[in-house]
Structure 1
């Protein structure tokens, strides 16, 4: 095995009755088994982030409840053949509102059958508002969204995608413990096939055979300030269907990581911290991700093709996010010792500093 961490194989509550972390919840699993029974208010964070990519375009949906603030976002990027840096089409619509004390998002909606739906926003949003719906369906998850583009003249955007969860497909769920009062449960899904459409006015973006979805499902209680790196990618490479899931910085010293490979639906949990090498002064320079050892489980270079930077100052919230979309190339090794060539696997990498 590629990790020393404890594998959880039966359902478990995240919290004890007093709201503190249940020690039996610390570990990782190949499918969502944690019930995120967070109680009360204060430093509590809940979110769902889905990103669905194709070789020519992508869409990302975010529904988040940060305790004192809710933030919902629809992001679309077109970057197909013939699109130079100045030709790419990109827009983002974000709706901010005072927090709802945790009432918008259920305990779990991470691909488990029977999870309740998460629906936010008005049926027909106007101005800067958005509507996002996430619901479990037979064999997967349905993603819907509606908003207006920020540009003038404004066009209606409608997202209708189905993300399949093939039988036996394994995903990473893990609890990262800072202490009994500060902890995070995250469920990361990669390499889930997707289909459907994104309609922008009269134009339709198709998501079909080569469309892949990644989920970041989070429930926890966080420190006031934190930094993190996150990288993910999905697709077919080296004769396999591969999902990459890497995190860094925020997990150091906790005894847990959120690093994993998904190869043909089988998860390899990586218990080692990765080394992230990048040029702080050049967001578009290649990034390197390397696991320790003579035969590292991860030895990859990420080459960006499109930057996305956001800055938020909203009273209690300060955010600096530098995210790049690009391609991973190099080698990974699963827990059976197989060496898999990664050749231009589409995904992203990000560097985030958050005060919340």
Structure 2
């Protein structure tokens, strides 16, 4: 992996902002680029008189958690001791109540020939699960999604890394069996079958974060990047071997109580010995971020809010994601658009697959090259 020293002032504008940032006055911007930077968090009331908002504001200092902790208090509110970040899953998502609780497991797999997405989720009033495959050679997609009322047939464990998460309904079944040594992924849909093993290398670290909008609205997420994966992918009559020498898997584990309307950005890129995890918009103003660099499996936490620039009129144009420790470009080669509209429940996601350029700063101040990392960057808008 390529690491570069950090010369004083390198990559900075006169006001200290990174080049390419909307805050940098010295660099002209493409007028067609759209930035998602907003002065306030769109997922909270921003009312200083709201007692929940005042309480949340007291819980915003990022700190590393090193011992097991419950996500919720006995009354179902956010446990202040749970707010922070971890290098391995330590939170128990002891969620209570019904109606605003969201639970999901998403696995993304990237191979030289295909990109695969598997999801199992419970939104309390509905279950959403499905499979997605992109053929990287010709751009053909296979997608099969199922909605089950009241999340029937969905199982979600309280902890990441242990227990079985599964969803069954209609023609689609997905199952993720989690053990200390790794996870077994199984999925079946019309014209699709996947059987894969995702080992957990010794010492491998993941990013766990609790995002506090208020004591009643909060999210626990685990982003686990760059996991080796091996197995078989069957599409119709053809079977493809997934070889861990040139493939990787990414986990997005989510448990929380969400606002009705929310927007987010997420980017993840992996390559040999390096991975980058970036998020935005939904965490703005909470004091928590889901940003990290991984070098040889070790987590380097990035606690800055980032500026995201991309063109919503042309998702295949290059993206820029910048901050004091991140100067990343993303160059899409395919965009997946997914829309659901069930009236009061609706979602729209633009997930772009592509390659990263740029660099990110490690904890020791050195800069790590992101060039060649493969993955995705997305915008999601949900009413749920």
CA distance in 1, matches of 2:338, 2:269: 21
Hey, what does 1:216 align to over in structure 2?
252
TM-score normalized by structure 2? 0.82
How far apart are residue 201 of structure 1 and its match? Answer: 2.3
Hey, what does 2:83 align to over in structure 1?
26
CA distance in 2, matches of 1:316, 1:129: 25
SS at match of 1:204: strand
How far apart are residue 341 of structure 1 and its match? Answer: 1.4
In the alignment, is the contact (CA less than 8 A) between 1:4 and 1:271 conserved in 2?
no
Hey, what does 2:317 align to over in structure 1?
285
CA distance in 2, matches of 1:174, 1:197: 32
**C-alpha spacing 1:200/1:103, structure 2 compared with 1 (3 Å):** closer
For residue 231 of structure 1, the aligned residue among 252, 255, 267 is 267
Q: Which residues of structure 2 form unaligned runs of 5+?
A: 1-59
CA distance in 2, matches of 1:132, 1:269: 31
CA distance in 2, matches of 1:190, 1:244: 8
CA distance in 2, matches of 1:205, 1:144: 15
**C-alpha spacing 1:102/1:249, structure 2 compared with 1 (3 Å):** farther
Q: How does 1:131-210 map to 2 (within 5 A)?
A: 131-137=173-179, 139-148=181-190, 155=191, 157-208=192-243, 209-210=245-246
Q: How does 1:280-319 map to 2 (within 5 A)?
A: 280-292=312-324, 297-319=325-347
For residue 335 of structure 1, the aligned residue among 360, 363, 368 is 363
Hey, what does 2:144 align to over in structure 1?
93
For this pair of structures, how many residues does the alignment match?
324
Higher relative contact order (CA 8 A, sep 6+): 2
CA distance in 1, matches of 2:116, 2:153: 25
How far apart are residue 338 of structure 1 and its match? Answer: 2.1
Q: Which residues of structure 1 form unaligned runs of 5+?
A: 123-127, 149-154
SS at match of 2:229: strand
Cα deviation 1:209-264 (Å, max 9, x = unaligned): 1111100000000001011000001112xxxx111111000001101000011110
How far apart are residue 206 of structure 1 and its match? Answer: 1.7
**What root-mean-square deviation, in Å, do the aligned CA atoms of Structure 1 and Structure 2 show?**
1.6
TM-score normalized by structure 1? 0.88
1:256 maps onto 2:288 in alignment: yes
Higher deviation after alignment, 133-142 or 300-309: 133-142
